[in-house]
Structure 1
Amino acid sequence: MTIQGTGWKHDLLLALCATLLVLAINAISGFPTIADLGADNDSMLRLVEVRDLLAGQSWFDLHQYRMGLTGGFVMHWSRLVDTPISLIILAFQALGASMAAAERAAQIIWPLFLYGLTIFVILRASRRFAGADVAMPSLILSTAALFFLGTFSPGTLDHHNVQILLTAASLWLLMEAPSWRPAAFLSGLCAGLTLAIGMETAPYVAALGACAAVLFILDERERLTARGFGTGFAVVALVVLVATVPPSAWGVAQCDAFSAFQFVIAALSGFGLAAIAGLSGQSTVKTRLVSMSALFLAVAAVAIVFFPQCLASPYAGLDERLRTYWLNDVVEAQPFLSVAVNEPKLMAARYVTPFIALLLIGFQLHRRRPRREEAIAAALLIIAFVISLWQVRGSTFSVAFAVLPLSTWIAGIRLQASAAQSWRGSTRIAAAWLASLNVTWAGVAVAAQSVAQKAPAGINSDADHALTCSKAGDFGDLAALPATTVLASSNLGSAIVMFTGHRALASPYHRNVGGNLAMLDAFMGTPDAARAVVEREHVGLVAICRGNSEELSLAAEAPAGLAARLLHGDVPDWLELDGQTAGKPVKVYKVR
């Protein structure tokens, strides 16, 4: 099968068809990722943030007042993601839909809209990477890869899917720059937007900027590319600063959210790149290299002198107890070795196809000098893969970028097989397809694990451990109680504020230091120590999810602590079980 047509409208239609297919699959299965959000705390809290905005909370006010200690804490997220979700909800309400129906529509439309656009972008990038023959492999691989990542599933409202789209778009547009003049500016704009949405994309943005600079250093004809990218990057940084940061905070540096630090670095590097490209004239490679080196040193000096606190590890200042009992258990923050040992299915699904893609690129580099498009894509894939070795969250980008070399590989084998048809050629095609699908390797890992080992008796074998407490119904009894502050594990924090009107003392966010430490003091401390925390923080209810991994971990670490006692039915006299929650996934205890 060969896909005819190479225009953007054709690719947009293909992406739409893929999106409608995924929509149909989810609809037939009853949108399971909306009915049960699982451990997707970010998507739950994003919806809460949107609700607060629509209820009148200030655009510039990112406080989560119903989380943490009294007064809440400021989240590090961007209103740029809240805006389209809010507009979808408002549009459906204007058509007469209830708030619940409008929210459900947003939970379906927004991630699938991003899904379709990302497939379109990868299709266009694949064509630029290797030509028209890769269209069909690219369509199938991108559709499958993004589907099984889960980052674009209905209900997924966090910012990671937006960042994948914007980063992939910046990559594609940088490839397109020589043949379409606005592409470089738009590439810089996308790079700036993805950085504004979340600092975790800073390495990819830096790689894209470095590509634009190196291309210009090596080839004076890339002048417009460098100038356009730099201008777009700097301009969007200025717009984002004005649009999302209150004037009173323009001089404040926040290392984990867009602020003065990110703006200064983006403006200096972006406008500097554009200025050098615009003023160089008929320069030589040496003069361009010297100019770019000077710009790099200037940007580095500004960062070191004025923002040294932002050059350390993102979690360098995190309390050691939070690092031990929270961060070390956050799946997306785990390094490769930890994932390989503890989550072999996740490891296989996230690392094998990018690794194969890197091998394919390495093979091509060994044979010949890379083309411009290959060099850019290789740089992004290498950066993403290296980051994924540090934290598994980087694999969401490397899996997407890997589609380019993998689809090229399949297309090449198909062309060879069509020229001389044989069973060997067909076997090679089938093997290439299977090797290029991340779901294949996940299946292999599951099969191997089931053969190699059996679950130890008595561990996670009872019905309680199957409970994750991630459905709205799990919190129905809690929601019916008068609003108060709830002591629960951080994993339940987002669900509590989404499904009930209560405050959650703890939550899975690094800025909620006080609330999370208070939760640890209570759940790992003796009943008397826990009562002191409860009284100090005005806690009215204690909630326990019998299958929550965090509570089980805390109970194992502190067998005499409150969490362990409650899990074993040893209730202190200052707590009283709410009878409606007996035997339910979420047990609720009232403070006497």
Structure 2
Amino acid sequence: MMAARSTVWRDNAFAAGLAVLLAAGWAFQDWSPLSALRLPDTDDAMRLQQIRDWIGGQPFGDLAQHRLGLAGLEMHWSRLPDLIPATINMLLTPLTGVQGAELAAVLIWPALLFMAALILIGSLARRLGVSAPVAIVIAALAYPANTLFLPGRIDHHGLQLVLCLLLVRAAIGAAGWRAGAVAGLASVTSLVVGMEALPILVAGGALILWRWVVADDEQQQLTGYAVALAGGLLAAAWLFRTSGWSYPACDGFGAAAWRAAQIGAMAPLGLALAGRWLSGWHRRLLFAVGAGVIAGWVALAASPGCLSPYGGVDPLLSRLWLDRVAEAQPLFASPVSQAVGYAGLAVVGLAATLWMWRRTGAACWGMLAWFQAASLALTLLQLRGVYPGAMLAAPALAGVIAAARRRGVVPLAVAWIASAGFLYPLAGGLLQTSGDPEMLGAGMCDVPQAVDLLRQYPAGTVAGPIDLGAWALAGTPHRLLAAPYHRNTDGIRLSWRLMLSPKQRAEALARTHGIGFLVDCPGAYRELGALPANSLLHRLRTGDVPDWLEPLPGTGRGVAIWRVRVGNRHSSLYPLRQSPSRLRGDGAAR
């Protein structure tokens, strides 16, 4: 017992040390943007702004972003991922000031999540009987999953990946109510954070049900899972109810998603209660399938929007923007170079797990393969589904390395190369061709220059590229019409209309909506295709600036900003901030 505990402590210390070492190295490499709080992704910038708003007095349940869109936007996010970085921020502010505390929060929180992820992989490796340190090293290099833990990555995806790993570890652990309860609570917490991991959560619930069907001693695990799932959902609805709770979509933890999840939780709860009277796996299977079908039908009848969480998105937005976001692409619709870089490790990892399962005959390997297959199935629909699969490749690849070590240097070298996740995007780069379709992103926009310039002017309304929005929102006092959030239909469409309209119509739109600044960048607005020759954006790019616009001094090749004139004065019109109650009405985020 003491030896086992010593091994666990040693593995955990190794995981923590490796996480800190890599986090420090990454922070050193990117210190210049990080020290200026220029975070890696738009979601990170928006998360930082959401934390600032909360610390600044916005109510806990008010997730509206009041400076986004036409009249504020109800975000589909949750307050839960804000808790720890906000706590770090508030604890350190008296010691380091606001800037120092925010910097510490965006460095510490991803490192803590990375540490947790590696510790869970080590625990999973011990459960499967392979080397935990080797699996930890492989997981630390597991692209693209490890990019979720880079310094500055404070969005919710890293937390969601850790919760998925916790679910996997509990679901394939030893039978018992504690493991079941951990799996149920991990599922609830992941649902509160966001809906992206729902297929993995369903796979976890299905595995726990299957274990109950085929084994008489799994009753306690199912009971723990069912009680924690149903009870956790009730508690979460009370603790994390947001101002947008009744928003008519299933894109976040709101009434529709909670209702469907709570109905779905009744299936395992009912089976757990009836378990003692269901002897024999045939009868349990029949009741499990029946309960699942009934619960699923009732859940979708109660929340039909959950069949298509983004079904309410404006079709034009879907076609021109959302369907072209790189991580939202199906695997086989992506360029080969990108598909190899993203999914290469996950595919190799699943093959290694199946090989280990066949070689050892241990059921745990089959359970792990089930989760990896679920991740790859999700990847077929959206590339972002690959994150759990990439991380879960580590235990089996550690087993392959152990087997290769006994066969000589060359097999060992091949096994390590196949296990090095960072090599797959490099290999994908060798396959890139000039004909690969271009996905939407930040283009060549000089975001720091744009934010620095806009920060110098009084608050106004800015019409600019979609991907600039979140960074400008976090870095300036302005209202942004467009940002990469699917509920912001009105703001994005107005920004597009403004740029595509003839200059007289564009002026009328700008004055009607109090727009004070226009921003353009190289590569921006690619989603709009070829620009009409009489459009405002085409005229601006060809140097034909209408007299109602004035270029801001300091703009360069990376960004162009114009200020709207009002007579002899510049526009500083800024629509009055709407109250949270108004934001929940019909005129809010649609």
Return the TM-score normalized by structure 2.
0.88
- Matching residue of 2:237: 241
**Runs of 5+ in structure 2 lacking a partner?**
566-590
Whole-angstrom CA distance in 1 between matches of 2:106 and 2:156 = 13
- Matching residue of 1:589: 562
Whole-angstrom CA distance in 2 between matches of 1:455 and 1:201 = 29
Cα displacement string for residues 501-558 of structure 1 (whole angstroms, at most 9, x for unaligned residues): 000011110100100111111122222232232122210111222x3x3334436344
1:534 to 510, 514, 524: 510
* Counterpart amino acid of residue 173 in structure 1: A
1:431 to 393, 401, 414: 414
2:221 to 213, 216, 225: 225
* Counterpart amino acid of residue 415 in structure 2: A
* Counterpart amino acid of residue 161 in structure 2: I
Cα distance, 1:478 vs structure 2: 0.9
1:513 to 489, 492, 496: 489
2:252 to 248, 257, 260: 257
Distance change (3 Å), C-alpha of 1:187 and 1:469? same
* Contact 2:260/2:303, CA 8 A, preserved across alignment: no
Cα distance, 1:566 vs structure 2: 2.2
Whole-angstrom CA distance in 2 between matches of 1:33 and 1:277 = 52
- Matching residue of 1:388: 379
Structure 1 stretch displaced more, 85-94 or 295-304: 295-304
Cα distance, 1:404 vs structure 2: 2.5
- Matching residue of 1:15: 15
Distance change (3 Å), C-alpha of 1:476 and 1:251? closer
**Runs of 5+ in structure 1 lacking a partner?**
418-424, 460-464
Distance change (3 Å), C-alpha of 1:8 and 1:474? farther
- Matching residue of 1:112: 111
- Matching residue of 1:486: 462
- Matching residue of 1:164: 161
Distance change (3 Å), C-alpha of 1:19 and 1:446? same
Whole-angstrom CA distance in 1 between matches of 2:77 and 2:443 = 32
| 1:550 match: secondary structure | coil
Distance change (3 Å), C-alpha of 1:315 and 1:280? closer
Whole-angstrom CA distance in 1 between matches of 2:532 and 2:420 = 43
| 1:125 match: secondary structure | helix
Bigger proportion of residues as helix: 1
Cα distance, 1:36 vs structure 2: 7.8
Whole-angstrom CA distance in 2 between matches of 1:260 and 1:66 = 25
Cα distance, 1:148 vs structure 2: 7.0
- Matching residue of 1:441: 424
* Contact 2:469/2:484, CA 8 A, preserved across alignment: yes
Distance change (3 Å), C-alpha of 1:93 and 1:151? same
| Alignment of structure 1 residues 21-170 onto 2, 5 Å | 21-31=21-31, 34=34, 37=38, 40-69=41-70, 71-94=71-94, 96-129=95-128, 131=129, 133-145=130-142, 149-170=146-167
* Contact 2:466/2:484, CA 8 A, preserved across alignment: yes
Whole-angstrom CA distance in 2 between matches of 1:39 and 1:335 = 23
Structure 1 stretch displaced more, 277-286 or 60-69: 277-286
Structure 1 stretch displaced more, 96-105 or 33-42: 33-42
* Counterpart amino acid of residue 66 in structure 1: R
Distance change (3 Å), C-alpha of 1:276 and 1:369? farther
| 2:168 match: secondary structure | helix
* Counterpart amino acid of residue 330 in structure 1: V
* Contact 1:526/1:561, CA 8 A, preserved across alignment: yes
- Matching residue of 2:350: 358
* Counterpart amino acid of residue 554 in structure 1: L
Whole-angstrom CA distance in 1 between matches of 2:252 and 2:318 = 20
Structure 1 stretch displaced more, 223-232 or 509-518: 223-232
* Contact 1:554/1:564, CA 8 A, preserved across alignment: no
- Matching residue of 2:585: none
* Contact 1:37/1:470, CA 8 A, preserved across alignment: no
Cα distance, 1:4 vs structure 2: 9.9
Percent sequence identity is: 28
Cα distance, 1:112 vs structure 2: 0.7
* Contact 2:251/2:310, CA 8 A, preserved across alignment: no
Distance change (3 Å), C-alpha of 1:98 and 1:304? same
* Contact 2:145/2:388, CA 8 A, preserved across alignment: no
1:199 aligned onto 2:201:
no
* Counterpart amino acid of residue 488 in structure 1: G
* Counterpart amino acid of residue 470 in structure 1: V
Distance change (3 Å), C-alpha of 1:503 and 1:145? same
Cα distance, 1:477 vs structure 2: 1.8
Cα distance, 1:7 vs structure 2: 3.7
1:184 aligned onto 2:180:
yes
* Contact 1:38/1:468, CA 8 A, preserved across alignment: no
1:524 aligned onto 2:523:
no
Structure 1 stretch displaced more, 555-564 or 16-25: 555-564
- Matching residue of 2:171: 174
* Counterpart amino acid of residue 347 in structure 2: F
Distance change (3 Å), C-alpha of 1:223 and 1:368? farther
Distance change (3 Å), C-alpha of 1:165 and 1:242? same
Whole-angstrom CA distance in 2 between matches of 1:261 and 1:410 = 46
Cα distance, 1:42 vs structure 2: 0.6
* Counterpart amino acid of residue 286 in structure 1: H
Cα displacement string for residues 350-393 of structure 1 (whole angstroms, at most 9, x for unaligned residues): 1111111222334456x479533222211111111111121111
- Matching residue of 2:474: 498
Distance change (3 Å), C-alpha of 1:520 and 1:90? same
Distance change (3 Å), C-alpha of 1:446 and 1:297? closer
- Matching residue of 1:349: 341
Cα distance, 1:107 vs structure 2: 0.6
Whole-angstrom CA distance in 1 between matches of 2:361 and 2:167 = 20
* Counterpart amino acid of residue 26 in structure 2: N
1:328 aligned onto 2:323:
yes
Whole-angstrom CA distance in 2 between matches of 1:494 and 1:339 = 26
Whole-angstrom CA distance in 1 between matches of 2:423 and 2:453 = 41
Number of aligned residue pairs? 558
* Counterpart amino acid of residue 61 in structure 1: D
Distance change (3 Å), C-alpha of 1:156 and 1:559? farther
Whole-angstrom CA distance in 2 between matches of 1:559 and 1:113 = 52
CA RMSD of aligned residues (A): 2.7
Structure 1 stretch displaced more, 323-332 or 390-399: 323-332
| 1:576 match: secondary structure | strand
Cα displacement string for residues 137-188 of structure 1 (whole angstroms, at most 9, x for unaligned residues): 201111111687411111111110000000011101222232x652221111
Whole-angstrom CA distance in 2 between matches of 1:55 and 1:146 = 36
Whole-angstrom CA distance in 2 between matches of 1:266 and 1:321 = 30
Whole-angstrom CA distance in 2 between matches of 1:454 and 1:200 = 30
Distance change (3 Å), C-alpha of 1:245 and 1:340? same
Cα displacement string for residues 64-109 of structure 1 (whole angstroms, at most 9, x for unaligned residues): 110001x211000000011111111001013x22111111101100
Cα displacement string for residues 451-493 of structure 1 (whole angstroms, at most 9, x for unaligned residues): x66999xx9xxxxx9843233x541121111101001111111
* Contact 2:321/2:527, CA 8 A, preserved across alignment: no
Structure 1 stretch displaced more, 24-33 or 193-202: 24-33
Whole-angstrom CA distance in 1 between matches of 2:287 and 2:507 = 63
Cα distance, 1:559 vs structure 2: 4.9
Whole-angstrom CA distance in 2 between matches of 1:33 and 1:412 = 43
Cα distance, 1:307 vs structure 2: 1.5
Distance change (3 Å), C-alpha of 1:535 and 1:551? same
| Alignment of structure 1 residues 467-482 onto 2, 5 Å | 467-471=444-448, 473-482=449-458
